[in-house]
């Protein structure tokens, strides 16, 4: 169960664990079978309504949704988009799309119109799902981005004149005769399209095949023996997809809530349900540690607390583990393209993100494409046992990020030690990450540069106090004579963007910003300049 190193290719290979399921089979067929193994078992607890759903009920609703989607004329290869929280019937509809070979792009429920429209321009969905809260934004995004008007369904809606997602669960009379269609080559059949940041500073449409999903979640069947899992993540996040895979493939019940993360919601759910497997990004874990209820909450039943999505300070893990007498924290590094890439499940080492996960291969490359030895720093490249399909409908992006042998260039810099533990030293990409959300500086810079009185504008990330999140910070060169204030800028930007994109690091006015000789902004120097100004400001 430990990674191995090939000194010739300089590749670290995680444990080779073939899936117990056939990766040539539609992922939906496997879900149909696993749900049928224990139909009476409760597989979903809805914390908001108190309702539960068994495997058998989940299977029946998914079959009905599958048949009703087919009756609407939707077929294999038609794209869908899903901008939903974790409500009761999202999972049955998702399973139905797997049944039918309908790939779907998962979008953040809280995204603004521009963010939603960007992805819809790439995927051109024929079917879109959303919630009541984001209906108007999603509808607007389809109007500006999708050429042919898609079918739009709303979950748990009492709105007039809209398609209700629950109508897809109506009885068909043909449920007993159901079998998912063959769908052809599972290795080339798109299953799900996730959002990821990339070299363009805009989200990319990460396309995972049915075979890749089967291998991601079928290789450790029987290993995960947990009673109840929970995280706040919708399917937009890879951690949300992880919950789906663990729950339906491994038969582990999960708790769902439509509510976003808050400390009190976490503690309320944890006290109500016997959760023994949970995931939080480190920024959430930090907030929980600071809350008064953390000291009085009994964590004895927790066996695994996953932390990941951004750098995880060792002090934070130490504080968590002090409250886990029967469990431990596990660091995970994941990417949308592969899933879990590294983990330190068997051994924890300070500052490391762990060793290569099962069926993953990793190497460190220099600027000219030469593989480096252990201890040498370079760009992290990785690949998985099943091929990555690339970025949907953008072959030029795929060509820039994936080489001819399927190795994915991550843009992250790091090195391995002699035991195969990976250490991250930074990102080549300038993307910021706040509480798991990706922030493209270019998005904010565009808004800033449109403000009257702004000559130059750049956005950098400054780590917050616990080092787990980037605080978006604006650096402005004003037009000569402008009376623009920091408050003016904050008001304009924060009123226009989603909450996670707000300028939490503040605004700094400077006379000039550092450039290279060929006119490229030196962001590292700019960050150091901001740090110095911040320290001076605090002293004063």
In the chain, count H helices and then E strands.
15, 27
- DSSP class of residue 232 equals -
Token match 């080339």: residue?
188
Fold of the domain built from segment(s) 434-538: GMP Synthetase; Chain A, domain 3 (3.30.300)
- In tens, the pLDDT along 88-103 reads 999 999 999 999 999 9
Is 1-24+210-429 in CATH node 3.40.50.12780? yes
384 alpha-carbon distance from chain centroid: 18
Provide the percentage of residues in the chain whose pLDDT is more than 70: 96
**Contact at 8 Å (CB) between 101 and 74?**
no
- Res. 519 pLDDT band, cuts 50 70 90: very low
Q: What is the pLDDT of residue 284?
A: 87
**Contact at 8 Å (CB) between 364 and 379?**
yes
- CA 80 – CA 75 distance, rounded (Å): 11
Mean of the pLDDT values across residues 504-515? Answer: 90
- In tens, the pLDDT along 479-496 reads 889 999 999 999 999 999
Q: Which of 319, 326, 362 is nearest to 343 (CA)?
A: 362
**Contact at 8 Å (CB) between 282 and 310?**
yes
Is 52-173+180-184 in CATH node 3.30.1490.100? no
Residue intervals in the chain for CATH 3.40.50.980: 52-173+180-184
Q: Which of 354, 355, 307, 353 is nearest to 330 (CA)?
A: 307
497 Cβ neighbours under 8 A, 6+ residues apart: 112, 443, 444, 447
Residue intervals in the chain for CATH 3.40.50.12780: 1-24+210-429
- With 0-12 / 13-18 / 19 or more C-beta atoms within 10 angstroms meaning exposed / middle / buried, residue 292 is exposed
Structure token pair of residue 259 = 């509510």
Least confident of 374-378, 390-394, 463-467: 463-467
Residue intervals in the chain for CATH 3.30.300.30: 434-538
């Amino acid at each position: 169960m430990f990674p191995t190193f090939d000194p010739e290719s300089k590749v670290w290979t995680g444990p080779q664990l073939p899936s117990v399921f056939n990766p040539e089979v539609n992922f939906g067929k496997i879900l149909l079978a696993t749900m049928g193994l224990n139909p009476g078992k409760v597989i979903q607890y809805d914390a908001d309504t108190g309702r539960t759903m068994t495997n058998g009920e989940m299977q029946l609703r998914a079959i009905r949704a599958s048949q009703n989607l087919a009756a609407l004329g939707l077929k294999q290869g038609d794209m869908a988009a899903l901008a939903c929280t974790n409500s009761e019937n999202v999972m049955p509809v998702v399973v139905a799309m797997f049944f039918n070979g309908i790939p779907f792009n998962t979008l953040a429920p809280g995204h603004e119109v521009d963010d939603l429209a960007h992805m819809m321009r790439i995927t051109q969905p024929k079917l879109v799902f959303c919630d009541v809260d984001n209906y108007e934004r999603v509808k607007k995004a389809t109007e500006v981005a999708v050429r042919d008007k898609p079918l739009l369904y709303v979950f748990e809606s009492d709105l007039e004149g809209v398609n209700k997602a629950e109508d897809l669960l109506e009885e068909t009379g043909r449920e007993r005769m159901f079998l998912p269609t063959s769908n052809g080559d599972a290795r080339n059949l798109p299953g799900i399209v996730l959002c990821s940041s990339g070299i363009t500073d805009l989200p990319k449409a990460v396309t995972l095949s049915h075979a890749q999903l089967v291998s991601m979640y079928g290789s450790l069947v029987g290993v995960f023996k947990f009673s109840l899992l929970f995280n706040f993540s919708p399917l937009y996040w890879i951690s949300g997809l992880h919950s789906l895979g663990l729950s339906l493939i491994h038969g582990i019940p999960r708790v769902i809530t439509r509510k976003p993360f808050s400390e009190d919601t976490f503690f309320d759910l944890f006290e109500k349900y016997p959760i023994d497997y949970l995931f939080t990004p480190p920024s959430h874990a930090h907030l929980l540690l600071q809350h008064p209820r953390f000291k009085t909450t009994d964590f004895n039943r927790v066996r695994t607390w996953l932390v990941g999505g951004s750098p995880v300070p060792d002090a934070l893990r130490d504080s968590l583990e002090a409250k886990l007498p029967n469990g431990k924290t596990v660091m995970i590094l994941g990417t949308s393209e592969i899933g879990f890439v590294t983990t330190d499940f068997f051994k924890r080492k300070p500052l490391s993100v762990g060793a290569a996960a099962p069926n993953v291969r990793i190497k460190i490359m220099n600027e000219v494409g030469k593989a480096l030895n252990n201890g040498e720093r370079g760009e992290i490249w990785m690949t998985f046992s099943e091929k990555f399909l690339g970025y949907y409908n953008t072959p030029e992006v795929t060509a820039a990020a994936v080489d001819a042998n399927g190795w994915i260039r991550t843009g992250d810099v790091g090195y391995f030690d002699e035991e195969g533990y990976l250490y991250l030293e930074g990102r080549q990409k300038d993307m910021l990450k706040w509480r798991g959300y990706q922030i493209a500086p270019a998005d904010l810079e565009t808004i800033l540069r449109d403000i009257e009185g702004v000559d130059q504008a750049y956005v950098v990330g400054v780590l917050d106090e616990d080092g787990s999140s980037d605080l978006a910070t604006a650096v402005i060169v004003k037009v000569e004579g402008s009376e623009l204030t920091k408050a003016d800028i904050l008001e304009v930007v924060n009123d226009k963007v989603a909450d996670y994109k707000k300028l939490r690091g503040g605004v700094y006015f400077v006379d000039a910003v550092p450039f290279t000789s060929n006119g490229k902004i030196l962001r590292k120097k700019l960050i150091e300049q901001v740090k110095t100004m911040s320290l001076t400001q605090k002293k004063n």
